[in-house]
Structure formats: structure tokens, C-alpha cells
Amino acid sequence: MRFLMSYGVAFLLLVGIGGWMASGYLVQGGQGPGNGETQALDAVDLPGADKAKDLMTEFGLIKSDEEQAAEDEVAQAEAEAETAAAEELQAVRTRTFTIQPLPLEVTLRGNTAAKATLSIRAETTGILESRHVDKGDVVKAGDLLCSIDAGTRQARLAQAEASYEQAKADFETNKKLREKEFAPTNSAAAYESSLKAAKAQLDEAKAELARTEIYAEAGGIVQEPMAQPGDMLSAGGPCVTLVQMDPLIFVGDVAESNIDAVRIGLPVTVKTITGRVIEGKVAYISPTANTATRAFPVEVELPNPNHSVRAGLTAEASAVLGTVPAHLIPQSVLTLDNDGTLGVRAVKDGEVSFHPIEIVQDSQQGIWVTGLPESINIITVGQEYVVAGQQVLADNETEETTS
């Protein structure tokens, strides 16, 4: 019994040692799997090693030579595939972008307004005899607007004319008498004074009569308030109201950050809510800012010869303040680097580089950015799969490709 147990323990030890040796490999020359690497059991020259190996192969403790060879072939093929993949370059598509002058614009929002509203007033007291214009009429400077009843003004004018003629005749008679020494020399001053007083009364009578006719001091469109025939007008009382519509005024606000770039005479394009586009020029810049918005009121004069554009329309004005060199690129090429910086990836001499950018303006054609070289090949397809410093295979798009 002890004999059998001794042989059994020896057999188990042999199987254990063989399994341990079979599970390892002997590496010769530092080669990898299938290249100079053998099982440790094959490298040991022991009596009965072949029978032990056959026995362990039969029990599945180690692989057969055929299985091991097949496994080595698979490992070698996988290693060769990984090496080929590592050597193959990433393909990307690029497009060349060149620097362009970008017009810098400032946008103003506001409304149109009349240049001025004039109240045409009477210079004398009287009853309004007739009004020669109606609401909505377009008048020019010098057009007759209202007539006040002359009353006794015509009679006073006739009396003043007669007094003047009498004073003139007396002055001439006195002059002849003085020449013949029939009148004292110092009498001339009294007759001359009387003549001047009569002339002043005549001029006043003419002016008073002229004040009964009220004329337009400037052109415009008639609107209310207006006096009605029969109304008693006092000196300074309004006859009609005129609105000056040519030129028209656009009133808007410029942010304090842009106010230094705005100047008198700066060309401005105004677009009204009705779709009318008018070219004008800056006519006024407020010297002080609005305390609530910190913006500066600005007025733009707009030609309106036919009065086709009305006052009070919501409008938007844009003025070109200058140009800045920039690139127009599609938004799809934007990406982030590892630090979260916004930019683009480009290719030069087959190597990827990252360029941070600053967005200046957005448009329907793309976005305008600064911070790039004058000419640059930006990656348009595949930028998310490469990093700076990586070698790539770049296919640059032509005009035919992008059109």
C-alpha cells in the first residue's frame, strides 16, 4: 500500500512539474512569439520527457506542436497588421484660405424724423380772412399761406402817403426859400426832421399792411394745427404748421465703444422697416451720452426730394468704419484644442498644426476670423481625428471641388 502511495505521489509531482514547465517558454535571442521562442519542456533533456509531454498533451495540459504553430502564426499576423496600421498616414481634406479686407461696420437702430417742424405765425393782430393751403399740401419758401383782413390799414397807408408827400413838399419849399435867403438857415433842420418822421410813418403803414399776408419761410408739408378763416389771430398766433421732410433725418444711438470711429460726413446706409434703402451722411453727433444707455445720439441726413419716405418709421443704419485683414471660413472647420481654445487645424508640409482664432463677425457666407497666417491650408474634413504635430496625408480641395 505504501508502495502504491509513493508512486502515486511521485506521479503527481511529475505531472505538476511538467505542467509548470509546459506553461512557460524559453526565449532565445530576445525574439517574440514564433521567433526563437520554445516551450520550456522541449528545452529540457530529461529521461521520459517525451512520454510526459505526450501524456500532458493528451490530458490537455499543454498544446500540441500543430496547435502552437497555428497560434504563433495568428499572433505574428496580428503584430504585422498593427505595425502596418501604425505606419499608415491619416488622410484629411484641406482647403486654402487667404486673407481678405473685412469692412468694419457699426449698426444703429432708430427711426426717421422730420428735419424740423415750423409754426408759421402772424406778425399782427386781425381776423383770418383766408387760408391758401390745406393739410397735406407741399409748399415752397415764399408761398402765400394766410391772409388777414386789412381793416383800416389801407386807409392808414393812404394817410401816411399823403403826410409824406406834404412833408416832402414843405421841405422843398423851405429849401428854395433858404437859397433866396427868404427863410432862416436854421429852419432846414425842422423841415428835414418832419420829412423823416413822415417817411417813417409811411414805411410803418406799408409794413403793417404787408403783415396781413403770411408767407412760408421755408418749404415743407402743411399739417395741423392750422387756423381757420374767421379766427381772430393775435401777433404771434399760429396760422399753419409746416413739417420739413427734405432732407429727412434718421435718429439713432451709437455705443460708447464705437463713438470715436463716427465722424461728421461719414457715409451711412439706412434701411427702413418698409424696405426702402437710402444713402445719407452723419450730420450731428451728440457731445454727451444718454445717462441710461451710455450711448450717443447721432443724426443722419437723408435726401427725400419727393417726400416718399415718411417720418417716424423704424429703421436700421449701417456705417463702414474701415477694414481689417481677416479670413472668411466656414463654421464647420472650427475645433478645440486640449485646453479648450477655439481655433482651426491646418496642414503644412504634411504636418498638422493648431491655430487659435478670434471671431470678428458672422455672416451668411461664413465667419470672419483673425489670427491666421496670410495663406493657410485648413483641414475641412478629419480635423477631429488628428492632433498637432501628427503627420497626415492631405488632399487639398480645388475650386472645382468646392464649387
Report, as an integer, the average pLDDT of 152-168.
Answer: 90
Q: For 394, phi and psi rounded to 5 degrees? A: -100, 130
**387 Cβ neighbours under 8 A, 6+ residues apart:** 352
Q: Is domain 150-211 annotated with CATH 3.30.70?
A: no
Contact in structure between 149 and 212 (CB atoms under 8 Å)? yes
> How does DSSP assign 299-360, residue by residue?
EEEE--TT--SPTT-EEEEEEEEEEEEEEEE-GGG-EE-TT--EEEEEEETTEEEEEE-EEE
Please list the residue range(s) of the chain that carry CATH number 1.10.287.
150-211
For residue range 3-33, list pLDDT tens digits in order.
445 555 555 555 555 554 545 544 444 444 5
For residue range 66-94, list pLDDT tens digits in order.
777 777 777 777 776 665 554 578 889 99
3-state SS, residue 14: helix
Report, as an integer, the average pLDDT of 136-153.
Answer: 91
3-state SS, residue 231: coil
Please list the residue range(s) of the chain that carry CATH number 2.40.420.20.
90-102+325-402
Is the pTM of the predicted complex or chain greater than 0.75?
Answer: no
Report, as an integer, the average pLDDT of 215-220.
Answer: 89
Question: Is the CA virtual torsion 199, 200, 204, 210 positive or negative?
Answer: positive
How many helices (H) and strands (E) in the chain? 7, 22
Paired residues of 110 in beta bridges: 252, 315
CA 117/CA 123 separation, integer angstroms: 19
Lowest-confidence region among 188-192, 310-314, 391-395: 188-192
**Topology of the domain comprising 90-102+325-402:** 2.40.420
For residue range 31-57, list pLDDT tens digits in order.
445 455 555 545 444 455 555 556 555
